[in-house]
Amino acid sequence: MEHHNSFSANQGAMHDTFGRRLHYLRVSLTDACNLRCVYCMPEDITFRPAAALLQDDEILTLVKVAASLGVDKVRLTGGEPTIRRGVVELVRAINAIPGIQRIAMTTNGIRLGELAGPLADAGLCQINVSIDSLQPDRFRAITRRGDLDDVWRGIAAAQAAGMDPIKLNCVVTRGFNDDEVSDLAMLTLVNPWEIRFIELMPLGSVATFQQDQVVPSAETRERIEAELGPLALEPGHNGHDPAKHYRLAGALGRLGFISSVTEPFCSGCNGLRLAADGRLRLCLLRDDEADLLTPLRAGADFATLRRMMAEAAYRKPWGHRLEEHDIAKSREMSQIGG
């Protein structure tokens, strides 16, 4: 890791001390969710009051600040981004910000049946839908309330709306869905989707559960190969994509393995996260944050916000320290957006 010693406020793009260029911003539109996934949040979670969250104009200001610092891709997440009122208009407004080239969303898909078309019209081009099980009862148990049919309707609507790529996120959780990974992988035989198997990451108040149930990607891959045959590694891995890609013989789609715990990809990290309460989170699994909402509401001008964002980005930590049992506890995953 190369250290850069000075921060230049005039730079056109954001870099951190390790020389990583940061041009991908994940924006959490709300900490609230219409599901309560067991590995994501406690069942009795209380969400923040709306006034404590970024308003639309505040989100747009901060995305403009980020775009002026070289951010070209925005991912909307949550909580659940589709339950935010006015989400379609927000996408349209973000899409109009000079410099923003791609808008993506990570969603549980429950509301996508009605929203995929309008979101695509507004400029959303790429979607990740979370789907941890293909069994309705099990899906309900993991999400504590979800109806799997809604998710399928959502995926079909996203496809009909022309979103591309369509990625399906599956967090592999021991004892919940680790015996289903081959069924999920088989979806790629006939669909041009990417099924992403994500290692369970420890964070917040459910960290102990998460640590106990983690399934290493290598184990998931071996299980799929044992049940379905060899996987071919896809050539040309983009060093910034957290997933390593493989393909089943003859498949239309591909598999992605995201091994945040067992094989961290911090050197390729190019992102920052804006939490729904206006704090810029510098690494998903570390509690380092910079509050941008307070200065924004106190009247800080564009140049000041720009400097604050770039300075915060500059001190982005290298990565997590899970191997040292250093677990970020200040927030739940749902408050950051994964």
**Residue 169: which of 132, 219, 141, 201 has the closest Cα?**
132
80 binds ligand SAM (CB under 6 A): yes
Query: How many residues belong to the chain?
Result: 338
146 binds ligand SAM (CB under 6 A): no
Which bin fits 325, alpha (ψ -120 to 50), beta or left (φ > 0)? left
**Residue 160: which of 128, 114, 196 has the closest Cα?**
114
259 binds ligand SAM (CB under 6 A): no
Min dist CB 71 to ligand SAM, Å, is: 20
Rounded Cα gap, residues 51 and 61, in angstroms: 17
134 close to 183: Cβ distance less than 8 angstroms: yes
What is the three-class DSSP state of 155?
A: helix
181 close to 198: Cβ distance less than 8 angstroms: no
171 binds ligand SAM (CB under 6 A): yes
272 binds ligand SAM (CB under 6 A): no
Question: Quick one: DSSP state of residue 221?
Answer: H
Of the candidate spans 76-84, 92-100, 114-122, 310-318, the one that interacts with ligand SAM by CB under 6 A turns out to be 76-84
By rule CB under 6 A, what string of x and - marks binding of each residue 180-209 to ligand SAM? ------------------x-xx-x------
Min dist CB 196 to ligand SAM, Å, is: 8
Q: Total binding residues for ligand SAM by CB under 6 A?
A: 21
143 binds ligand SAM (CB under 6 A): no
Min dist CB 315 to ligand SAM, Å, is: 24
Of the candidate spans 77-85, 90-98, 151-159, 265-273, the one that interacts with ligand SAM by CB under 6 A turns out to be 77-85
148 binds ligand SAM (CB under 6 A): no
130 binds ligand SAM (CB under 6 A): yes
Q: Which residues contact 49 (CB under 8 A, 6 or more apart)?
A: none
**Residue 22, class by beta-carbon neighbours within 10 Å (0-12 exposed, 13-18 middle, 19+ buried)?**
buried
One residue of 68, 188, 213, 334 binding ligand SAM per CB under 6 A = 334
- φ, ψ of residue 233 to 5 degrees: the values are -70, 130
Question: Quick one: DSSP state of residue 153?
Answer: H
213 binds ligand SAM (CB under 6 A): no
End-to-end CA, the chain: 25
**259 to 239, 241, 323: CA distances (angstroms):** 14, 11, 14
What are the beta bridge partners of residue 106?
128
158 binds ligand SAM (CB under 6 A): no
Is 130 or 188 the residue whose CB approaches ligand SAM more closely? Answer: 130
One residue of 23, 25, 39, 296 binding ligand SAM per CB under 6 A = 39
Which residue number has the CB closest to ligand SAM?
338
The residue with tokens 């099980």 is: 133
Is 177 or 188 the residue whose CB approaches ligand SAM more closely? Answer: 177
The residue with tokens 């149930």 is: 213
Rounded Cα gap, residues 162 and 41, in angstroms: 32
* Contacting ligand SAM within 19-38 (CB under 6 A): 33
Is 43 or 301 the residue whose CB approaches ligand SAM more closely? Answer: 43
284 binds ligand SAM (CB under 6 A): no
One residue of 17, 30, 68, 107 binding ligand SAM per CB under 6 A = 107
Residues that bind ligand SAM (CB under 6 A): 33, 39-40, 77-78, 80, 106-108, 130, 169, 171, 198, 200-201, 203, 210, 333-334, 337-338
